[in-house]
Amino acid sequence: MDRAAYEALCRELLDHDRRYYVDNAPTVSDQDYDRLFARLKDFEAAHPADLLSWSPTQRVGHTPTSTFPKLVRDVPMLSLDNTYDEAELTAFHERVKKGLAGEEPAYVVEPKIDGISMELKYVEGKFRLGATRGDGTIGEDVTQNLRTIRALPLVLSEPVTVDVRGEVYMERAGFEKINAERVAAGEEPWKNPRNSTGGSLKLMDPREAARRPMKLLTYEVVGDGPAKTHFQLLEWMKHLGLPVSTDITRVESLPALIEAVNGWASRRLSLPFAIDGVVIKVDRIAQRRELGATSRAPRWAIAFKFPAEQAVTRLQWVEVNVGRTGAITPLGHFDPVELGGTTVKRASFFNWNQIRRLDVAVGDKVLIEKAGEIIPYVITVVERGADRQPIAEPTECPSCATRLEREEGQVALYCPNRFGCPVQRARSIGFFCARDAMNIENLGPSTVYQLCETGLVKDVADLYDLTVEQLVELERMGEKSAENVVQAIANSKKTATLSRLLIGLGMPGIGEVWARAVAEHYRELASLMKATPEEIKAALLALHGFGEERAQKVSAFFAEPRNRVVIEKLQARGVSPSEPRIERIGPLAGLRLCVTGTLTRPRSEIQATIEAAGGTFEKSVKKGTHYLVAGADVGATKLKDAQKKGTRVIDEPTFERLARGEDIGNG
């Protein structure tokens, strides 16, 4: 395969991504796609100098970012004025007509996705960068995380330079899956998809962002574009391969506008994602220019907001839940009530402070609302029950009767009996078996609870002693199922990495990103176990962004004798995984570069170029930094550091040649 065939293969795979993730109309099987993708990876591994920054393999970078650079945009992202009823909608229409000297406008009606607004920049058809709305003028560069969204085209169908705006969001199914995983891990669930999306976009590690089910819809071109109407621009955007909503209506009169808006009141529940209203825009671009904007909002557009889905119901009782980490959370059980197209029976109060704040008691009638049309939560008490029963904050764990504690400055109650609490133990073992941890299939919660209750499993290491003969004695466990469980446990020894083992061990405050950071530093479980707690803490503090509190928790975990006993038992049973090294490919593979001064491109773009070419971007000159890319107006500090540490200083044109794989000599 030559370079032309390689580029054609990249485009073919990106086209398949669009058909699958945007059009929902794939034209190849998963097996055929994987075969093409493997062929692409093989070529890039053999020809690193030919690597294209927009290759499908480059969606997920391997280097966590330490900051999100600020970007100043020339055309601010304005807010929208809101309207809530027909009278206000009519008043908006009259204002538009007045601004157009009585001319009747046509409108485009679009769903208002409850997500995170984003601006995307394409240069000659290639995705260059993306930034959050921020305050409208200044946003944050989240390009690395945006690249992980499969619906975002890395290459457009035409080599145009254009800025587009859109919304990043999560569909209900993906959001509910994430929340189920958080609850299983003993963490508080996200309140709504928007919060979850915002948090995902601000993850420091794009590999973790890639695991979040984020989607994208675009809705606007910055500037005029090659069309006279907004509706035509949307068609052009679809032609370019940008994801655009299929639920867009064009209307030419006020009655038709009102009918279109009212039609969304019930239809919105059929969408796979949450919307909180619709956006109404004047269609003709020339009329938009004539209408202009205020300092905060365009005069040619408005948002029609739907009222929140609310209902009144009675609180029956409050269940005290024990999480994997020992967190004690209150779960309210209510009289069944219809809300947003579903029957609601339960809602989390999240913590006991909320119960005190609401002054809610069993028997009270409460107003509940669906946040982002997903999770119901209690807004207020509307009627106090005649025989209301106050809800006392628990003092003992319902699982093991241990006295509960609250860390200083924290709102959550905890059961400190981490090793002896039956529910914590069962949930910790279940968490160890989860797909993102040791990935032991066929061990569901009911089976894990049976293993704990029968005494067959007291800690995660005991899983590796289980036999088929022991498992067939459990309820609803046949011989074939028992054989599958034993085989899955054995397979986990071969497939697990050190980071996945660390995730499964459930260290407080350590999720996937930080577990990987620990694993990439130590590489071998044996090396980690040989280090003293003091050495562990010092090593982790040296890792960028790890922080004092997190480093202390990891070192304390390995200082705890009972934790060490379990890990030693795992090692004795052949569970001692290593962390594979991530092979960087590209002209800058193995090189560490720092940037200073004013360059012709934003700092974030230079960073993206370095990482796309396989290099490591560093915020400051350190021992081992290979190059300092210096622009105009360079400060003296970094130049002195470079001289002191033997770092070569190069200008921007030399850097560009280096990034293309050209020889820049030893000067």
User: In the annotation, is 112 catalytic?
Assistant: yes
Residues 83 and 152 in one domain: yes
Q: What is the DSSP string of 399-417?
A: TT-PBPB--TT---EE---
Q: Within a domain: residue 402?
A: no
What is the three-state SS of 33-60?
HHHHHHHHHHHHHHCHHHCCCCCHHHCC
Q: Within a domain: residue 397?
A: no
**Phi, psi at 271, each rounded to 5°:** -75, 150
Q: What token pair was written down for 440? A: 């032991």
Q: How many domains does the chain have?
A: 5
Residues 219 and 278 in one domain: yes
* Structural domain harbouring 359: 310-390
Q: Within a domain: residue 583?
A: no
Beta bridge mates, 332: 318, 347
Return the CATH number at 355: 2.40.50.140
Q: Within a domain: residue 222?
A: yes
Among the candidates 508, 538, 572, a domain finishes at 572
- Please state whether beta strands 310-322 and 301-305 pair in parallel, antiparallel, or not at all (unpaired): unpaired
Residues 295 and 162 in one domain: yes
Q: What token pair was written down for 119? A: 């601006």
Lateral strand order in the sheet of 592-596: 616-618, 592-596, 627-630, 648-650
What span, in angstroms and rounded, lies between the C-alpha atoms of 591 and 488?
A: 40
Residues 324 and 199 in one domain: no
Residues 480 and 368 in one domain: no
Among the candidates 58, 83, 98, a domain finishes at 58
Q: Classify each residue of 91-128 as buried b or exposed e, where b means 16 or more C-beta atoms within 10 Å of its C-beta.
A: ebbeebeebbeeeebbbbbbbbbbbbbbbbbbeebbbb
pLDDT along the chain (667 residues), means of 10: 86 82 68 79 83 79 56 83 90 94 93 91 92 83 89 92 94 82 65 80 77 91 87 94 92 94 81 87 94 86 84 93 87 86 79 89 89 69 92 93 84 85 91 86 86 92 95 91 93 90 86 80 93 92 77 92 94 92 75 86 78 80 87 77 89 90 81
Return the CATH number at 482: 1.10.150.20
* Residue appearing with tokens 């860390």: 407
Catalytic residue among 70, 97, 98, 112: 112
Q: Within a domain: residue 637?
A: yes
Residues 497 and 564 in one domain: yes
Residues 531 and 604 in one domain: no
Residues 600 and 536 in one domain: no
Among the candidates 58, 83, 102, a domain finishes at 58
pTM: 0.54
Residues 541 and 647 in one domain: no
pLDDT score of 366: 92
What residues have CB less than 8 Å from 431, skipping those under 6 apart?
184, 185, 186, 324, 437, 504, 506
Q: Within a domain: residue 201?
A: yes
pLDDT score of 251: 95
Q: Within a domain: residue 483?
A: yes
Q: Within a domain: residue 529?
A: yes
Return the CATH number at 214: 3.30.470.30
Beta bridge mates, 524: 578
Return the CATH number at 45: 1.10.287.610
Residues 197 and 284 in one domain: yes
pLDDT score of 582: 62
Return the CATH number at 645: 3.40.50.10190
Residues 343 and 245 in one domain: no
Closest CA to 566 of 450, 439, 428: 428
Residues 256 and 291 in one domain: yes
pLDDT score of 66: 43
* Residue appearing with tokens 């170029």: 609
